[in-house]
A = this chain, B = another copy of it.
Amino acid sequence: MFFQIDAAGSVPVYEQIVRQVTFAIADGALRVGELVPSVRQLARELAINPNTVARSYRQLQDEGVLETVRGKGLQVATGSAKQCRSKRLHLIRDRFSQVLQEARQSQLSEDEIRQMIDAVMANGKPKRGDQ
Protein backbone atom coordinates (compact mmCIF):
# COMPACT_ATOMS: atom_id res chain seq x y z
CA MET A 1 0.00 0.00 0.00
CA PHE A 2 1.10 3.54 -0.63
CA PHE A 3 0.19 5.00 2.72
CA GLN A 4 2.57 7.04 4.78
CA ILE A 5 2.37 7.32 8.52
CA ASP A 6 3.98 10.00 10.64
CA ALA A 7 4.13 8.53 14.13
CA ALA A 8 5.83 11.56 15.64
CA GLY A 9 3.30 14.10 14.35
CA SER A 10 0.33 15.32 16.30
CA VAL A 11 -2.30 13.61 14.16
CA PRO A 12 -3.37 10.25 15.55
CA VAL A 13 -2.16 7.34 13.50
CA TYR A 14 -5.62 5.83 13.15
CA GLU A 15 -6.91 9.14 11.78
CA GLN A 16 -4.11 9.27 9.26
CA ILE A 17 -5.14 5.85 8.01
CA VAL A 18 -8.83 6.70 7.86
CA ARG A 19 -7.99 9.84 5.99
CA GLN A 20 -5.67 8.20 3.52
CA VAL A 21 -8.06 5.39 2.77
CA THR A 22 -10.87 7.87 2.31
CA PHE A 23 -8.80 10.00 -0.01
CA ALA A 24 -7.58 6.98 -1.93
CA ILE A 25 -11.18 6.01 -2.61
CA ALA A 26 -12.10 9.56 -3.54
CA ASP A 27 -9.25 9.63 -6.01
CA GLY A 28 -10.19 6.29 -7.49
CA ALA A 29 -6.95 4.72 -6.31
CA LEU A 30 -9.18 2.29 -4.45
CA ARG A 31 -12.26 1.22 -6.39
CA VAL A 32 -15.63 -0.04 -5.25
CA GLY A 33 -15.55 -3.76 -4.57
CA GLU A 34 -11.80 -3.81 -4.20
CA LEU A 35 -10.37 -5.46 -1.08
CA VAL A 36 -8.30 -3.33 1.28
CA PRO A 37 -5.16 -4.87 2.78
CA SER A 38 -5.73 -7.08 5.79
CA VAL A 39 -5.26 -5.59 9.24
CA ARG A 40 -2.14 -7.62 9.85
CA GLN A 41 -0.59 -6.96 6.50
CA LEU A 42 -1.16 -3.22 6.62
CA ALA A 43 0.11 -3.10 10.19
CA ARG A 44 3.24 -4.89 9.11
CA GLU A 45 3.80 -2.62 6.15
CA LEU A 46 3.33 0.56 8.14
CA ALA A 47 5.21 -0.82 11.15
CA ILE A 48 2.42 0.07 13.51
CA ASN A 49 0.18 -1.73 15.95
CA PRO A 50 -2.52 -3.96 14.40
CA ASN A 51 -4.97 -2.58 16.93
CA THR A 52 -4.53 0.81 15.36
CA VAL A 53 -5.28 -0.47 11.88
CA ALA A 54 -8.27 -2.35 13.22
CA ARG A 55 -9.57 0.80 14.83
CA SER A 56 -9.30 2.70 11.55
CA TYR A 57 -11.07 -0.03 9.63
CA ARG A 58 -13.79 -0.17 12.27
CA GLN A 59 -14.39 3.54 11.87
CA LEU A 60 -14.48 3.24 8.10
CA GLN A 61 -17.02 0.44 8.49
CA ASP A 62 -19.10 2.62 10.80
CA GLU A 63 -19.06 5.31 8.15
CA GLY A 64 -20.22 2.81 5.57
CA VAL A 65 -17.08 3.20 3.50
CA LEU A 66 -15.90 -0.35 4.00
CA GLU A 67 -17.93 -3.52 4.41
CA THR A 68 -16.98 -7.02 5.47
CA VAL A 69 -17.03 -9.86 3.03
CA ARG A 70 -17.17 -13.04 5.05
CA GLY A 71 -14.13 -15.16 4.56
CA LYS A 72 -12.44 -12.59 2.37
CA GLY A 73 -11.87 -9.40 4.28
CA LEU A 74 -12.97 -5.80 3.89
CA GLN A 75 -13.95 -4.25 0.60
CA VAL A 76 -14.84 -0.78 -0.55
CA ALA A 77 -18.61 -0.47 -0.23
CA THR A 78 -20.94 0.51 -3.05
CA GLY A 79 -21.44 4.25 -3.22
CA SER A 80 -18.23 4.88 -1.32
CA ALA A 81 -16.59 6.80 -4.12
CA LYS A 82 -19.15 9.55 -4.10
CA GLN A 83 -19.39 9.52 -0.34
CA CYS A 84 -15.63 9.82 0.05
CA ARG A 85 -15.37 12.68 -2.39
CA SER A 86 -18.05 14.51 -0.46
CA LYS A 87 -16.42 13.72 2.85
CA ARG A 88 -13.11 14.94 1.55
CA LEU A 89 -14.68 18.23 0.57
CA HIS A 90 -16.26 18.58 3.96
CA LEU A 91 -13.01 17.84 5.73
CA ILE A 92 -11.18 20.50 3.82
CA ARG A 93 -13.96 23.04 4.11
CA ASP A 94 -14.27 22.52 7.84
CA ARG A 95 -10.57 23.02 8.24
CA PHE A 96 -10.73 26.24 6.27
CA SER A 97 -13.64 27.37 8.32
CA GLN A 98 -11.74 26.64 11.51
CA VAL A 99 -8.68 28.57 10.47
CA LEU A 100 -10.79 31.42 9.26
CA GLN A 101 -12.42 31.62 12.64
CA GLU A 102 -9.03 31.78 14.29
CA ALA A 103 -8.00 34.54 11.96
CA ARG A 104 -11.07 36.56 12.80
CA GLN A 105 -10.49 36.06 16.50
CA SER A 106 -7.05 37.56 15.99
CA GLN A 107 -8.52 40.93 15.14
CA LEU A 108 -7.41 40.62 11.56
CA SER A 109 -9.67 42.39 9.10
CA GLU A 110 -11.33 40.58 6.20
CA ASP A 111 -8.99 42.35 3.85
CA GLU A 112 -5.89 41.35 5.75
CA ILE A 113 -7.13 37.78 5.73
CA ARG A 114 -7.73 37.82 1.99
CA GLN A 115 -4.29 39.23 1.40
CA MET A 116 -2.74 36.54 3.54
CA ILE A 117 -4.62 33.84 1.65
CA ASP A 118 -3.51 35.25 -1.68
CA ALA A 119 0.07 35.35 -0.49
CA VAL A 120 -0.03 31.81 0.80
CA MET A 121 -1.67 30.46 -2.33
CA ALA A 122 0.87 32.16 -4.54
CA ASN A 123 3.79 30.96 -2.47
CA GLY A 124 3.41 27.37 -1.56
CA LYS A 125 2.81 25.91 -4.97
CA PRO A 126 5.64 23.48 -5.58
CA LYS A 127 5.89 21.51 -2.39
CA ARG A 128 6.46 17.88 -1.68
CA GLY A 129 3.33 15.89 -2.33
CA ASP A 130 3.50 14.45 1.14
CA GLN A 131 2.98 15.72 4.62
Given A13-B70, A69-B7, A70-B13, residue A95 in contact with residue B106 (CB < 8 A)? no
Complex contact B101–A124 (CB within 8 A): yes
Complex contact B120–A96 (CB within 8 A): yes
Q: Which residues of B contact A93 (CB under 8 A)?
A: 116, 119-120
Closest Cβ of chain B: how far from A62's Cβ, in Å?
Answer: 7
Range for the number of chain A residues in contact with chain B = 35 or more
A70 to B92, CA, bound (A): 24
A23 to B106, CA, bound (A): 7
Complex contact B92–A116 (CB within 8 A): yes
Complex contact A105–B49 (CB within 8 A): no
Closest Cβ of chain B: how far from A121's Cβ, in Å?
Answer: 6
A124 to B100, CA, bound (A): 8
Complex contact A129–B106 (CB within 8 A): no
7 additional A-B pairs beyond A7-B72, A97-B124, beta carbons within 8 Å, are A8-B75, A23-B107, A92-B106, A93-B120, A96-B117, A96-B120, A97-B127
